[in-house]
Structure 1
Amino acid sequence: MGLLYRQFLRCRMILLSYLSHHPRLVCIILGLFLLLLSLAHERPRQILSYGNRFQDSSTFIREQIQQWSNKAERTKPKSVRECKLFSLQPKTEQLLAFHRPSCRRIPPLPGSCDLANEIFFSEPPATCSHQQSFNFCELKKSVNGKWEAQCNETQSVACISPLSVGKIDRQTGALKWEETGTSRKTAEMITSYIHHSRSALRHYGFCFIRCMIKQFLLENGPKDFDDPERNVYDDDQRNVDSDDKRNVHNDERNVFAEQLLILPPRIEPFDSDSVASQKNNFSINIMLIDSVSRQHFFRSLPKTVSVLKEVTSLLDSETTVLDFELVQAVRSRTFESLQVIFSGEIDPSEKPFGTQDTPPQPLKLSYLYGKFKKKGYHTLWIEDLCYLWEWGISKDLHFLNKSSSDEDTWKRLWKILDKNNIDSVEVTLAMCEVLKANHVPDHFHGPDAVCFNGRHQHEYLLEYLQLYQQTLESQKLPYFMFSQTNVGHEGRGRRVQTLDTSLANYIKFTASLQDTLTIIFSDHGNSYGSFMSATQEARIELFHPFMLFVIPNKVAKILGENAMLSLSVNTDRLVSFLDLHYTINHIVDPESLEKTAKRQFPVSRKGLLEPVDVNRTCSDIPRIMPNLCICQNYDTSVANESDFNLFAYFAIGQLNDEIQRQLLSLHIKNAEINSGNTLVAFKNCERLILQGVHNVRRSFDQNRTQTLKMDLHVQKSQVFFVAVSITYNLRSQGDHKTELMMYDRITPYGIFSVCADNIDLSLCICDTSRSSTNSLKIPEKDDLENLDLLPEFDVLVQDVSSLDRCLFLVTVKHERGAVVFLANVCQKRSFIVTAALEADDHLVYSVPPLLPVVLPGGMVVLGLLFAETGDTWTGSVKVSSQVVSDVSYLGSGWWRKS
């Protein structure tokens, strides 16, 4: 019996194994079983329907089996996949012969690549197929090699008005339209623009062509359109759905179809002596792809990466591609990166300006641009933002004034460009119309694809760059140009995929240019979005941009063998944009010595043209906090994060102090203090409430300064990434200093623009269901005693104004120390406060040198006590206050910004 039973089990296992590999047979067997059951109960007249019933049963069973299989797959524990770092080129023996650098990139977190695939590639990238494309005219080269326009009669059949050509007026900057009538006359006019020598008729690398169309061709388009004469940049329309962006404009009577036609540049001749001196020099082409990390570049642009690998792998290639694998970002913002690249100036200790603020000083583009201009180079700056809006070159160079007319802005633009030795911004001037057609002033928060006339916005930029380079290369004229696309600057992280085909083709073109060094890079990774919220890996990617050098053999020979070897070696060493600055500076001015003595960081005068120190760390390069070093073992995770939650309370208090400072500044600016309006510490933008602390890391500098970096989770699921510095003063025991260095908001916060108080939006959390201030509740003493605190924390509330019971000392206590606040619970009284915090042999943060003001409902930081050794601690606070009814004399600088 035992033998028979074992045989039975064996046969059953074989049968089950066979059936598991033949699900169709299982369906047939189960279907037959159900059919037999049906036959036992059905009447003869229904027999004719059994064939269909069998088919339906079989389909049903197959679907059920598939559902069971999918459910089992979902519930089965999955192993977390290890993720790899992308690389363009294998390491050569020559490169491996050098010492391995001390910096190795932090390995990607296991599973983060699967998460990236789910977030970024669960659906195909957006296209411009929602737009009807009108190809009224195109450029062709005649038999004598000159450009001429050819216009299509069949395309104009849809028009119910004559064709018109739009061109930027050189005096006012306005887009002026001139009716041309027929396609032939339109072609003649555009051709005259290309070749005419009169400055009044010259173009800026493009023109628009339009007509009224017979009918509204886009059935699903928006029902109300922007008036072409209205300036949409007065409103924030970032939340318009991307499906409603069209290239058709309407003035309530007419519907226009428009084409943007890229034209070859008109190059102003230089003095012959200046050009002749550049025989042995080469051109430099710099392209910035904003907000795309190195990992995201490789995962999002497979066609581009394939082209780069192809150029690199060809044995007879006339071009070398170098991929710098360890580039450390300066900061998660573009301005500071450009500041380092073009001027070489950076002060990491300086407090950065707010996101919405104008930089305290404009970019000093003239430092490099002026050197190239002096040596006979043609210079160009191109970007995809509108110069009449508050981002891009208008902010970088300080020429935008929202209260002035567009014509005045236009005049200031050209004065500033001339001061910075920039010849032109060319097709940049078309971007206002392109963005207006997409119903956005900028595209930082959508749409999913920025389109005009059925083409992606970046296609126009790359088309013009190629025409510009072809024109100057054919005339043997050197150029120095910078271009920037913000296609990657949006929360979803998908839109950069739309760049792939165009960028791949453009790199093929640049690789064929023997007189041009091309540098393509990003400034940092994406700073917001679901990937950033979901994994710590995104935080590392944020500070790990990519950088590629495309070097033709002719340029390589001019640079020299040693320089090329150094560039190759440095692809595997920690580098920064300060190295890039000195590289470009040495190319244009090899004898330059004026900045050598001022170098703040140990960087070679030749930049990347000499080997970078093999032992370089993030302490040796410029970084603005909060900033994570991409090298292993530099920022170390803290084992017990709760021990540092005191610093989290201190940091959140400093952020709340900044909200109060900005709101008071607005009160003063708007003269609300003496106007009868209620003066309060918080209005629509709420006091930030700490709900959690995660990802605590710390690093140590050589001057005994410790930097803590942590994620602060607050209400409404918002997260702040902060850096807190702790400086130990060895000369005076116990006299140490703690300060919030800077913060970044790593969760999307654009939704709060509808209810913000005109303070820096990156600080604001408010009720999006209301847009104006309702009755605001001033906290009472009971509210202070019942603060929602993290575990292991307690609160002590003490009255420090016995007469009016307005001011209370709020001490948030922990076994390792305390953070001390001063709260004002009165409705209409404000106080100027002085305070002194004392403790023996403990870390102490003292009040700022300028007097703090505590407004009604306010709660300001007085200090921090921290027992580093974990011993018991004691401290004392001395507070004096003075009621003030008019604080306007303090001005907007009453409190130092943190």
Structure 2
Amino acid sequence: MFIIHFVSDSQIDQEDVAKGYVVWNPSCRIPDISPYHDSIKKYISKWKPLICSKNKPLTSTVYSPITKRHTLRVNPHIVHSYSTTVALLTCCYSIITRSYQKKKIRDDDDDRYNISKAVCFKNKIELPPETEYIYVRCISGKKNIYETIHFMVIDKEPKPVTSKEELTEKKFSVFLFAIDSISRLNFMRTLPKTRKYIEERGWLPLEGYTKIADNTFPNLVAILSGMTVSQLTKHCYPSHKQKIDDCPFMWKNFSQNGYLTSYVEDTAPIASFNYLKYGFLNSPTDYYSRPILIAARKYMKIRDDGGMEYCIGPQPQIEYLFQFNTEFIQRFHNRSYFNLFWSNSFSHNEMNMPTIMDDRIRNFLADIEPYLNSTVVVFFSDHGMRFGKARETYVGWLEERMPFIYFYFPPSFQAAHPSWVRNFRANKNKLTSPFDFHATLQDLLYGQQLQPAAGCPQCGSLFNPVPHNRSCDDAGITSHWCTCSVADSSESVSDPHVVAAAHVAIGSINELLQKSVDQIKNDSSCAILSFSKVMSVRTKVGGGFAIFRRREHIIVFETEPSKAVFEVTVPEGSVKISNVAEISRINMYGSQSACVKGGSLLKLFCFCVKK
């Protein structure tokens, strides 16, 4: 049972938050729910460790600051664990390079790479200069006993400064470390050691941080560009079939001001700029992981766990990126960089799977800690789990909309910007959004927000006080994603208004499907969806007394023949659906929409049938 308890504003200070809430203001009340609430306890479990290989890695690379080259080495102490000897062992490496072209040639330009002829060696070999990616295979006799990849941090010069804007006096590096689909509450449940580690070291959370759209892409676009997807479409990305190179993502701003830039992401098939999109024509940043991970998927064994590509060869695929980022941060701690590290492989599909990475993430953060003296770190997610049985509960609804986020400010930053850090602390329990995150990145680079976020002109840097009475509208969060106050519903699932709203939503979905036949493979079509049942109804009450009369219904319903479960938000007394993009699908579509050629929205709705 969820009941909202109202307390007058005079009972609490404006900078405080009422007991039992993470946000409390005249326009927004967000309850502080236990991560182990009774309604989701039965869905919580701890995963057993997943082992990609019983043996330790056979090869490694070591960088020499003198020669500025990497040496590829065989570890002689573990050769025996591969049932061979040093004398019988031969290893060979091939260099992977990204294919470059001046204009779009194919739909998979972002997946193109070249691979060199293999070079074989014994024990160790110095790699040619500028070798960034290699595929390694080791043979004993005629038997292939080992294969792996190495993604090395080679020396690169930042691009010439072209920006005319003045920077902050001291250039702090920025490291964005994101784990997909982890809510604030699920972070507390699944990564307790990591949470303890960062909170003991003064990392600062934002407990009212709320997503602004359904999945990764629009929330990341808001962070990196300050735009909504519809604005991005008009500005630089007219179609998912077009390259996305021309869009104004923040790594360009950092690059134009002399920063090295890096963007690495695991699970290439669903990468943020590639899932149902054509990605980049050329590398978006100085360091880019996609070429080596695409090559690895072709040449190495992939093992799925939790519905994701977890293992690549002998290691979890995120391990390759942990190793890269550790070397990158250690090597460049005295240089200015912008580094985005995004992971999907252990969190995207299974709510409890992140438990297997708690120790590794904690150790990664400990490994890089000595090198963060001039680096601001943001550790965050894009949203919570978007589907599954837990998602059908109220707690799941809240979690989906409220990802975890922490900022780390090194002592040198706190000394340089004491008022910024003081204001940030005061925003812990304020309603915030990815648009504020974007404005904060501008502050970190320029010392001020030069351009308002197009998607939320009234949003601002988290280094400024967030207005006490902020509403979802003020934060660029539409009603469907707004978490400001929900109460149990007295409405019946058979209420005529509720059922009518579900029918209207289904009609909107079918209308979209009928308009999008050009995006469906020729031998298939999307089935017309029909109403099955309303599964639940909750009443959403406006956040504060001033807008108490604003009431909405959150309706969860099932359709035939797909058994798809959808969620829609409609005003009380209305059945109008303002935006079909804000009808959420909260169970997995799997292969049901395999006939969709493009467009993530259609994937949510289409139930493919052969013609």
Same-fold call, TM > 0.5? yes
Q: Structure 2 vs 1, CA of residues 166 and 625 (structure 1 numbering), >3 Å: closer, same or farther?
A: farther
The 5 A counterparts of 1:237-248 are none
Q: Deviations over 1:272-317 (max 9, x none)?
A: 999x9887211111112111111111100122012113213xxxxx
- Distance, in Å, in 1 between the alignment partners of 2:531 and 2:51 is 43
For residue 564 of structure 2, what is the amino acid of its counterpart? Q
For residue 432 of structure 2, what is the amino acid of its counterpart? V
Q: Structure 2 vs 1, CA of residues 374 and 298 (structure 1 numbering), >3 Å: closer, same or farther?
A: same
Whether 2:398 is the aligned partner of 1:540: answer yes
Deviates more, 1:485-494 or 1:548-557: 485-494
Whether 2:487 is the aligned partner of 1:487: answer no
The aligned residue for residue 658 of structure 1 is: 512
The aligned residue for residue 70 of structure 1 is: none
- Distance, in Å, in 2 between the alignment partners of 1:747 and 1:397 is 22
Q: Secondary structure at the match of 1:164?
A: strand
Q: Structure 2 vs 1, CA of residues 298 and 350 (structure 1 numbering), >3 Å: closer, same or farther?
A: same
TM-score with structure 2 setting the length? 0.79
**1:181 corresponds to which of 121, 146, 151:** 121
Q: Secondary structure at the match of 2:409?
A: strand
Whether 2:187 is the aligned partner of 1:297: answer yes
Which consecutive unaligned segments of at least 5 residues does structure 1 have? 1-79, 83-92, 197-201, 216-253, 313-320, 401-411, 673-681, 729-735, 774-898
Contact 2:472–2:479 under 8 Å retained in 1: no
- Distance, in Å, in 2 between the alignment partners of 1:551 and 1:398 is 36
The 5 A counterparts of 1:312-391 are 312=202, 321-346=203-228, 358=240, 362=244, 366-386=248-268, 389=269, 391=271
For residue 383 of structure 1, what is the amino acid of its counterpart? E
**1:259 corresponds to which of 145, 148, 154:** 148
Contact 2:89–2:122 under 8 Å retained in 1: no
Q: Structure 2 vs 1, CA of residues 756 and 484 (structure 1 numbering), >3 Å: closer, same or farther?
A: closer
Q: Deviations over 1:824-843 (max 9, x none)?
A: xxxxxxxxxxxxxxxxxxxx
**2:287 corresponds to which of 402, 421, 424:** 424
**2:97 corresponds to which of 150, 162, 169:** 169
- Distance, in Å, in 1 between the alignment partners of 2:550 and 2:2 is 37
Q: Structure 2 vs 1, CA of residues 540 and 153 (structure 1 numbering), >3 Å: closer, same or farther?
A: same
The 5 A counterparts of 1:155-166 are 155=79, 157=84, 162-166=90-94
How much has 1:462 moved relative to structure 2?
1.6
- Distance, in Å, in 1 between the alignment partners of 2:541 and 2:245 is 31
Q: Structure 2 vs 1, CA of residues 455 and 750 (structure 1 numbering), >3 Å: closer, same or farther?
A: same
The aligned residue for residue 47 of structure 2 is: 124
Whether 2:274 is the aligned partner of 1:394: answer yes
Q: Deviations over 1:192-217 (max 9, x none)?
A: x3xx3xxxxx122x4232123458xx
Contact 1:284–1:481 under 8 Å retained in 2: yes
The 5 A counterparts of 1:697-716 are 697-698=539-540, 708-715=553-560
**1:583 corresponds to which of 434, 440, 444:** 440
Contact 2:529–2:559 under 8 Å retained in 1: no
- CA RMSD in angstroms comes to 4.2
The aligned residue for residue 105 of structure 1 is: 30
How much has 1:390 moved relative to structure 2?
6.5
How much has 1:117 moved relative to structure 2?
4.8
**1:531 corresponds to which of 366, 371, 390:** 390
Contact 1:511–1:552 under 8 Å retained in 2: no
Contact 1:288–1:484 under 8 Å retained in 2: yes
Whether 2:589 is the aligned partner of 1:749: answer yes
Q: Secondary structure at the match of 2:254?
A: helix
Contact 2:178–2:379 under 8 Å retained in 1: yes
Q: Structure 2 vs 1, CA of residues 637 and 176 (structure 1 numbering), >3 Å: closer, same or farther?
A: farther
Q: Secondary structure at the match of 2:267?
A: coil
How much has 1:373 moved relative to structure 2?
1.9
Q: Structure 2 vs 1, CA of residues 725 and 391 (structure 1 numbering), >3 Å: closer, same or farther?
A: farther
Q: Structure 2 vs 1, CA of residues 757 and 175 (structure 1 numbering), >3 Å: closer, same or farther?
A: closer
- Distance, in Å, in 1 between the alignment partners of 2:307 and 2:270 is 17
Contact 2:435–2:456 under 8 Å retained in 1: no
- Distance, in Å, in 2 between the alignment partners of 1:646 and 1:351 is 33
- Distance, in Å, in 1 between the alignment partners of 2:230 and 2:473 is 11
Contact 2:177–2:380 under 8 Å retained in 1: yes
Q: Secondary structure at the match of 2:116?
A: strand
Q: Deviations over 1:692-740 (max 9, x none)?
A: 25224346698x9975431112236431112346999xxxxxxx96545
For residue 603 of structure 1, what is the amino acid of its counterpart? C
For residue 182 of structure 1, what is the amino acid of its counterpart? K
- Distance, in Å, in 1 between the alignment partners of 2:492 and 2:446 is 52
Whether 2:549 is the aligned partner of 1:549: answer no
Q: Deviations over 1:516-540 (max 9, x none)?
A: 000111110011123224x221111
Q: Secondary structure at the match of 2:554?
A: strand
- Aligned-pair identity (%): 19
How much has 1:553 moved relative to structure 2?
0.7
**1:455 corresponds to which of 305, 315, 321:** 315
Contact 1:134–1:453 under 8 Å retained in 2: no
**2:422 corresponds to which of 559, 565, 568:** 565
Q: Secondary structure at the match of 1:749?
A: coil
The aligned residue for residue 138 of structure 2 is: 211
Q: Deviations over 1:231-257 (max 9, x none)?
A: xxxxxxxxxxxxxxxxxxxxxxx6452
- Distance, in Å, in 2 between the alignment partners of 1:325 and 1:525 is 13
- Distance, in Å, in 1 between the alignment partners of 2:539 and 2:350 is 27
- Distance, in Å, in 1 between the alignment partners of 2:590 and 2:174 is 37
For residue 227 of structure 2, what is the amino acid of its counterpart? E
**2:198 corresponds to which of 308, 330, 335:** 308
- Distance, in Å, in 1 between the alignment partners of 2:181 and 2:606 is 23
The aligned residue for residue 721 of structure 1 is: 567
Contact 2:251–2:261 under 8 Å retained in 1: yes
How much has 1:469 moved relative to structure 2?
1.3
- Distance, in Å, in 2 between the alignment partners of 1:277 and 1:105 is 37
- Distance, in Å, in 2 between the alignment partners of 1:757 and 1:142 is 48
How much has 1:166 moved relative to structure 2?
2.1
Contact 2:330–2:368 under 8 Å retained in 1: no
Q: Structure 2 vs 1, CA of residues 756 and 429 (structure 1 numbering), >3 Å: closer, same or farther?
A: closer
For residue 424 of structure 1, what is the amino acid of its counterpart? Y
How much has 1:612 moved relative to structure 2?
0.4
How much has 1:391 moved relative to structure 2?
4.1
Q: Deviations over 1:370-389 (max 9, x none)?
A: 32222211111111133xx5
Aligned residues: 562
The aligned residue for residue 483 of structure 2 is: 630
Q: Secondary structure at the match of 1:609?
A: coil
Higher RCO, 1 or 2 (CA under 8 Å, sep at least 6)?
Answer: 2
For residue 169 of structure 1, what is the amino acid of its counterpart? T
The aligned residue for residue 109 of structure 2 is: none
